[in-house]
Amino acid sequence: MRRLVAFSAIGAGLALIVFTFASSAFLRMDEGQQLRDRFREVTTTKGFAQFGANVAEATKAVDELVTKTYPKFASDSGMSTKQYTAYVASNFSDVSRGVTTVHDLPNLITPITSGVAALPDGKFQPLYDLPVGGISLASVPWLLLGGGAAVLVLGLIALGLPGRRTTLLVLVAGIALILVPVAASLPSKTEQTGKILELCDYGLSADAALRSEQASYYTDAMIRQLKTELFPAVAKQRHVSVAMLQTQLKTESPALSKWVDDWTVVGPATLGFAAAIRESVSQYAQVRDFPFEETPWLLIALGCVVVVVAGAALVESRRSRDQK
């Protein structure tokens, strides 16, 4: 029976070691740590709120452009609003395309915002608490290897020096395999991480990367053309300087004026965020293949096997002593 105890520990240790390499844990956890670092700021409550505020500002500004600013510009030009909209489409294509792009933003981001809203309290935090808060995700493979090696060595010791003490040590190792994941709340954390990854399946997909890039670059081109072409054309029509027109717009179209001014800060951040999504697509594909939700249960299952075998051996040993 004691040989079976040794073999159960050896098997559990080997299983953890093989799992670490078979799951490409070193590669995938390193990629996962890079993704966590890259998106940490935007996935905080404050960061996500700022993202939503930026989208809301853009939507409000473009709605104002179409419903209030175009009619004023049309009146300056002696056109109807419909005619002026057609004129913009023909002569300022970046502006026209930007309007369409901003109006389409809800279709791009609603799956994410709805998914985040559906997450329990803590939102993305469980992902950053893997395996334990303050410890790098890249440490997970080393922890698995260390745990596997420790149990394997105990099994080899128990095989060479069978006895009650070594059996007790194997029992303690099995209990540790069970208690460590439970104490660190790994089953619940990985379950929550699985829900977050479902959002990332959309947000870090190749399609989302392409649409994010298009949205950011089209919006940037729109604002550039507003400032360098359309506004100067309107200023000329009104017989004022561009600076004077911009002053007038602060009263006539405050949301649009503010958005154009804010873009000097928001624009680079938006372009950078789109670039980060593009950079993350292939990395995320690697990370996604790691069995996050199954890993804690593998540890617990191996621990249970070791505990049952070692416990049975100790019970049998005690019965044998009692009979003597």
Per-residue pLDDT, 1 = 72
Each residue of 135-173: pLDDT tens digit?
899 999 999 999 999 999 999 999 988 888 899 999 999
Is residue 199 within 8 Å of 116, Cβ to Cβ?
A: yes
Each residue of 88-127: pLDDT tens digit?
999 999 999 999 999 999 999 999 888 888 888 778 888 8
Q: How far apart are the first and last CA of the chain?
A: 18
Q: How many domains does the chain have?
A: 1
Q: In the predicted model, is pLDDT for residue 324 greater than 80?
A: no
Per-residue pLDDT, 133 = 80
Calculate what percentage of the chain has a pLDDT beyond 70: 98
Q: In the predicted model, is pLDDT for residue 258 greater than 90?
A: yes
What's the rounded mean pLDDT across residues 286-292? 94
Q: Which domain holds residue 315?
A: 2-323
Residue 286 CA to residue 288 CA, distance in Å, equals 6
Per-residue pLDDT, 315 = 83
Each residue of 223-249: pLDDT tens digit?
999 999 999 999 999 999 999 999 999
What's the rounded mean pLDDT across residues 18-47? 93
Residue 270 CA to residue 118 CA, distance in Å, equals 25
C-alpha distances in Å from residue 265, one per residue of 147, 218, 271: 48, 16, 11
The tokens for 142 are 């080393």
Residue 322 confidence class, pLDDT cut points 50, 70, 90: low
What's the rounded mean pLDDT across residues 270-298? 94
Give pairs for 238-246: CB < 8 Å, separation 24+.
Answer: 238/76
* Residue position matching structure tokens 């070692």: 310
Q: What angle do CA 226, 229, 233 make, to 5 degrees?
A: 105
Nearest to residue 48, comparing CAs of 158, 203, 188? 203
Per-residue pLDDT, 121 = 77
